[in-house]
Amino acid sequence: MSTLLVLLPIAMLVAGMPIFLILLATALVALAFVLHVPLVGAPQMMFGSIDKFSLLAVPFFIFAGEIMSQGGVSERLIRWVQSLIGGVRGSIALTTVGTCEVFGAISGSSPATVAAIGRTMYPALRAGGYSDTFALGLLTSGGAIASIIPPSILMILYGAAAEQSVAKLFIGGVLPGILIGLLMAAYIIVYARSRNLAPTERFSWLRLAQTTRQGIWALAAPVIILGSIYGGICTPTETAGIACVYGILVGRFVYREITWRRVFELAGSAAYLTAQIMIIVAASGVFSWLLTISGVPQAIVQFIQEMKITPVMLLFAINVLLLVVGCFIDPSSAVLVLTPLLVPIVRLAGIDLVHFGIIVTVNLSIGMFTPPFGLNIFVSQGLFKAPMSTIVRGVVPFLLIQIAALMIITYVPWLSLYLGQFTK
């Protein structure tokens, strides 16, 4: 029976059944027929798993991201970053990375960032002489930065599953997010020089002043989001809700690019995306209950203890596992299923759980654009009507860059923990 309970869920996963259904079905069968526990606790576990104030940040940040990308905020951010980076070879591609960093401070979703930035930057990159392969690779992989720069949906889910402060995780993502951006920028400069791409018009203070004035409301969004969290004014969840109101006011009354009807439609679509992610949170609550009762995490911890694995080797093994998992399973599900299993092992090895949260986030955000099943690849395919083979060839250099960054982030905890010292 126990073997069946391991093999059957794997078979169901491979067959493509929904993850929430696999978690619920496995947990209910094991609790009822193996452990003989009354199932009446299952709905209470589900209720308790989603009735967490910190998780309310998920629908709020999804909604805020949708509102800001459709309400004219992303366009103005692009123009501002463009005016900031002028006169260097590769400036259009550098603008793309820079905008991903800034937009990442509003949106916590990687595919949403690819869509928001890609619509404007893809034609600009092609017109600037960049090959189709390079442009597609850059846009598909650049969106991953949004999952690492705060706010981040993945960090909120990890924080709930590992019982860690979301604010500390958010601040922990800042330096790793900047590191990835810098490594990508270095590659872009080398690429642009080797292809002798023409630089764009020179930097001018006048143009920067103009784009700053035009985009002041858009630029204020990341300042409000990060400022209110780290100024101790609001919790991340409250800030996410305020960002929604700000996005609606700016998109509706300042830029006048969205109607009330569109606001309502976007709320519906954000609620739909929330249900897709959070029903797995509910199901994983029942699954975690099963794991706790059956003593699986303790057994894994004991096994690892007996193996006498060093923290360095353990982190390497977990990185390989997460990179492989990230190729096949969406990051939200992977965080929710693996965190309860990995946290006891990592804690035992003396690894900081905020640092580990950043490693998990960076790792799974790489999975978002890893061929052949990364979600961003399908977003790019749909958005730019590009063949899959071109996108896959394009992401390879960026994949290698981000794996190199992941290794640095894994073995230099300072990057993830330094800024956290200054938060309450």
Point out which span in 20-28, 108-116, 129-137, 390-398 binds another protein (CB under 8 A). Answer: 20-28
Site for another protein in 340-399 (CB under 8 A): 372-373
Give the up-direction half-sphere exposure of residue 155: CA atoms within 13 A in the CB hemisphere.
33
Shorter beta-carbon distance to another protein: residue 283 or 415 = 283
The rounded distance, in Å, linking the Cα atoms of 144 and 61 is 16
| Binding-site size, another protein (CB under 8 A) | 62
Q: Which residues of 120-150 are buried (b: 16+ CB within 10 A; e: fewer)?
A: bbbebbbebebebbbbbbbbbbbbbbbbbbb
- DSSP letters along 377-414, please? HHHHHHHH---HHHHHHHHHHHHHHHHHHHHHHHH-TH
| Residue 15 near residue 7, CB atoms below 8 Å | no
- Give the residue, chosen from 274, 284, 365, 402, that forms a contact with another protein under the rule CB under 8 A: 274
- Give the residue, chosen from 15, 198, 206, 307, that forms a contact with another protein under the rule CB under 8 A: 15
Position 277 contacts another protein (CB under 8 A): yes
| Residue 283 near residue 20, CB atoms below 8 Å | yes
- Give the residue, chosen from 4, 33, 44, 195, that forms a contact with another protein under the rule CB under 8 A: 44
Point out which span in 52-60, 68-76, 165-173, 353-361 binds another protein (CB under 8 A). Answer: 52-60
Point out which span in 118-126, 158-166, 271-279, 295-303 binds another protein (CB under 8 A). Answer: 271-279
Shorter beta-carbon distance to another protein: residue 254 or 408 = 254
Point out which span in 53-61, 79-87, 132-140, 212-220 binds another protein (CB under 8 A). Answer: 53-61
Position 40 contacts another protein (CB under 8 A): yes
Position 253 contacts another protein (CB under 8 A): no
Position 245 contacts another protein (CB under 8 A): yes
Position 33 contacts another protein (CB under 8 A): no
Position 318 contacts another protein (CB under 8 A): no
The rounded distance, in Å, linking the Cα atoms of 329 and 366 is 12
The rounded distance, in Å, linking the Cα atoms of 392 and 377 is 8
Position 229 contacts another protein (CB under 8 A): no
Q: Which residues of 33-66 are buried (b: 16+ CB within 10 A; e: fewer)?
A: eeeeeeeeebeebbeebbeeebbbbbbbbbbbbb
- Give the residue, chosen from 46, 105, 139, 155, that forms a contact with another protein under the rule CB under 8 A: 46
Point out which span in 75-83, 163-171, 195-203, 237-245 binds another protein (CB under 8 A). Answer: 237-245
The rounded distance, in Å, linking the Cα atoms of 318 and 80 is 39
Position 285 contacts another protein (CB under 8 A): no
Site for another protein in 163-222 (CB under 8 A): none
Position 280 contacts another protein (CB under 8 A): yes
The least distance separating another protein from the CB of residue 367, rounded to whole angstroms, comes to: 12
- Give the residue, chosen from 113, 141, 165, 237, that forms a contact with another protein under the rule CB under 8 A: 237
The rounded distance, in Å, linking the Cα atoms of 81 and 86 is 9
The least distance separating another protein from the CB of residue 359, rounded to whole angstroms, comes to: 22
Give the contacts of 158 (CB within 8 A, at least 6 positions apart).
164, 169, 335, 339, 357, 360, 361
- Give the residue, chosen from 125, 330, 399, 415, that forms a contact with another protein under the rule CB under 8 A: 330
| Residue 321 near residue 366, CB atoms below 8 Å | no
Position 59 contacts another protein (CB under 8 A): yes
Amino acid at 422: F
The rounded distance, in Å, linking the Cα atoms of 258 and 71 is 6
Site for another protein in 133-162 (CB under 8 A): none
Alpha carbon separation from 266 to 162, 217, 259 (Å, rounded): 30, 20, 11
- DSSP letters along 202-250, please? PP-HHHHHHHHHHTHHHHHHHHHHHHHHHTTSS-HHHHHHHHHHHHHHI
Query: Which residues are at the interface with another protein (CB under 8 A)?
Result: 13-21, 24-25, 28, 39-40, 42-44, 46-47, 50-53, 55-56, 59-60, 63, 233-234, 237-238, 241-242, 244-245, 263-265, 267-272, 274-282, 327-330, 332-333, 372-373
